[in-house]
Amino acid sequence: MVDEKKLREKAKEVLAREDVRRLIGWKRGTYGYESAPAVLKDASEADELIFDPTCVQNPASFITLEEKLPVPRGQDPDTRKVAVLVKGCDSRAVVQQLVEKAYDRDSVIVLGVPCTGVVDRRKAAKMFGDTSEPVLIKEEGDKFVFTIDGETREGSKAELLADKCVRCRFPNPLIYDELVADEVAVWGADEFADVDEFAKMSPPEKWKFWEEQFSKCIRCYSCRNVCPMCYCLECVVTKQKPQWTRRSTDVSENTAYHIQRAWHLSGRCIECGECERVCPVDIPITTLNRKMTRDVKEMFSYEPGVDVEAEPLLSCYNPQDPEEYIM
């Protein structure tokens, strides 16, 4: 169990440091079953921080989202650190960002938060309905206890946990400068059962499935923007000179976008599931990414976001790589 008071004290301590510019965590949302990301600049704001099963967002996404504008002449760049609270899955993003040298290790302070799972708001809304009030969620044994509009409701964890949490193998952060709570026991295992299930469809069935899904896509790029691994300054999809993917939203261009992104994430996706959570038209994006993740594991025995000393899979060359043609 995370003691929120301890978490806030630790955050306050870190934010008060002169060499820390901001701290990213979670705070109470204005409504519903999810928290809001908190980007704090002053120690006095630390009391806003929370940690409970509403804390779905991945704070590591915000490390790379911050714009770095050119520094005006005569001014020094702000080299202060960014502190970030991370759950287990979030910490994999930090690991992978470091593996790819997105930033230096010493430019971030990682506060690890061992986690026992977050609630999927869609599942909660189906069970309890929508609300315009913030919902409080507490974990009690194998149940979640909700306070919705003043009323107490209960549901089983099994039915309400986000899918990624059900199979979570990394509830404890894999990288941290400090842990703000005790580590928890691992409960999940991942045999890629969902990928196998999907693979049972015939190619025409799969094509039809994806055609239906991608024709919903409105190209909001929320999946890309929230992804902690999508931090290219110029994304190939929005490039105009030359233009690789058109902006028109027909199923062909939408498919090209999603396939491009899945390829660009192979060996890099750390399965935080944010892409699927944010999609306003419910495209099952993780289904694509999980297939790549499984293939990468089988072909290269590689899992991203686990070992900060590892090398990025597709940037490195190993004579044992299973590609007959090029050799």
> Site residues (CB under 8 A) for other proteins?
22, 29-32, 34-39, 57, 61-62, 65, 67, 69, 122, 130-133, 212, 216, 218-222, 224-226, 238, 240-241, 246-250, 274, 277-278, 280-282
Shortest spacing between CB 278 and other proteins, in angstroms? 4
Select 200 or 241, whichever has its Cβ closest to other proteins. 241
Q: Which is nearer to other proteins, 183 or 250 (CB)?
A: 250
Residue 70 structure tokens: 């050119």
Minimum Å gap between C-beta 65 and other proteins is 7
To other proteins, the closest distance from the beta carbon of 4 in angstroms equals: 18
- Whichever of 147 and 238 has its CB closer to other proteins, that residue is 238
| Nearest approach, Cβ of residue 313 and other proteins (Å) | 26
CB of 187 to other proteins, least distance (A): 27
